[in-house]
Amino acid sequence: MSRLVILGSANADHVMSFEYLPAPGQTLMSKDYRFEHGGKGANQAVACARLCQAGNRIDFICHLGADGIADQMCQSWHDDGIHSDGITKVNGLSTGTAMIFVGANGENSIGVSLGANASMTTEALEKHQTLLAQADWFLVQLETPTTTVAQALKSAKKHGANTLLNPAPATVLGTEIYRWVDIITPNETEAEAITGIEVCDENTARLAAQMLHQLGPETVIITLGSRGAYLSCSEFEGVVAGVDVKPVDTVAAGDTFNGALMVALSENLAMRDAVEFANRAAAIAVTRPGAQRSIPYRHEL
Ligand code: RIB
């Protein structure tokens, strides 16, 4: 049995669909409106829970508001088999909120109000040290305070976990955090934010990956949308091709990729095979609307 621990955000996603994304100063009428369970951390935890084999344990560490949305989310995560020891409802705060615009070709733009996610401080993290110490695999992103992310990575790594950082959304970090990261998984924009290299083809992906290795991570995976992912590790260097699908909504595709990747690695798949598995999971997610709603189950892969 493996213990997979995810630390991160949970958001109430308010989603509107358009023929194209509104430009600055432009008002467009949406074709529809949906309320969804989202947040990068929660999406990744759900992906782990739906894709892992029976017997593994998934823990999610997060802060929610003390509101009805939090209750709905907790019920849904419970139904997916996520353990709730790391979930705290914080009095006086609201659950995080995301406003999401989706264009006709599945692309999106997102604004987030962190709400309770911002209250996951290093002090608040203290009570989750046991979960971090028990983790075999640990995954985190950047919608919680970066000092907490750094502290959690350090703690999990010191206790022997394999650590994954999905540096999303793009954020400038101090260099120390990368020392505690085994596997880093930026998309092209995030890779550019960290390295300054515009990733537009295989050559620039290789250069960005080299720079990311120098910061610390042994394995670099730059996700390339429908083209798949650029993998740079001791056994392989190059593009692992994605699956060709017609995208409907790309929200949570990256989160699905990250959760699936951690599940596959926890089952001892070789790195390239794990990236292929993650590509397939993400490809299914983009063919469906919504965040957690779009994440596939193991039998669908
Ligand atoms: O990665 C997708 C997620 O980003 C959405 O669910 C939204 O909540 C934002 O956090």
Task: Answer yes or no: is pLDDT of 105 > 80.
Answer: no
Compute the distance from residue 234 Cα to the ligand 1 centre, in Å. 31
* Per-residue pLDDT reduced to its tens digit, 175-224: 999 999 999 999 999 999 999 999 999 999 999 999 999 999 999 999 99
| Token representation of residue 288 | 């469906």
Taking the C-alpha atoms of residue 207 and residue 210, their distance in angstroms, rounded to an integer, is 5
The CATH architecture annotation of domain 3-296 reads 3-Layer(aba) Sandwich (3.40)
Burial (0-12, 13-18, 19+ Cβ within 10 Å), 211: middle
| Token representation of residue 66 | 């003390």
* Per-residue pLDDT reduced to its tens digit, 123-145: 999 999 999 999 999 999 999 99
Residues noted as catalytic: 255
| Token representation of residue 103 | 């264009």
pTM: 0.96
* 242 close to ligand 1 (CB < 6 Angstrom): no
Taking the C-alpha atoms of residue 227 and residue 244, their distance in angstroms, rounded to an integer, is 8
Please choose, from the candidates 40, 86, 87, the residue with its C-alpha nearest in 3D space to the C-alpha of residue 66: 87
* 73 close to ligand 1 (CB < 6 Angstrom): no
* Per-residue pLDDT reduced to its tens digit, 69-95: 999 999 999 999 999 999 999 999 999
Q: Where are the alpha helices (DSSP H) in the chain?
A: 40-51, 68-80, 122-125, 129-134, 146-158, 188-195, 202-215, 253-266, 271-286
Determine how many CB atoms are found less than 10 A away from the CB of residue 201: 12
Q: What pLDDT score does 249 carry?
A: 86
Burial (0-12, 13-18, 19+ Cβ within 10 Å), 298: middle
Compute the distance from residue 251 Cα to the ligand 1 centre, in Å. 7
* 292 close to ligand 1 (CB < 6 Angstrom): no
Average pLDDT value for residue range 32-54: 96
**Whole-number percent of the chain with pLDDT over 90:** 91
Q: Which atom of ligand 1 is nearest to the CA of 253?
A: 1
Compute the distance from residue 6 Cα to the ligand 1 centre, in Å. 15
Per-residue confidence band for 104, with pLDDT thresholds at 50, 70 and 90:
confident
Compute the distance from residue 80 Cα to the ligand 1 centre, in Å. 18
Q: Which atom of ligand 1 is nearest to the CA of 42?
A: 6
* 258 close to ligand 1 (CB < 6 Angstrom): no
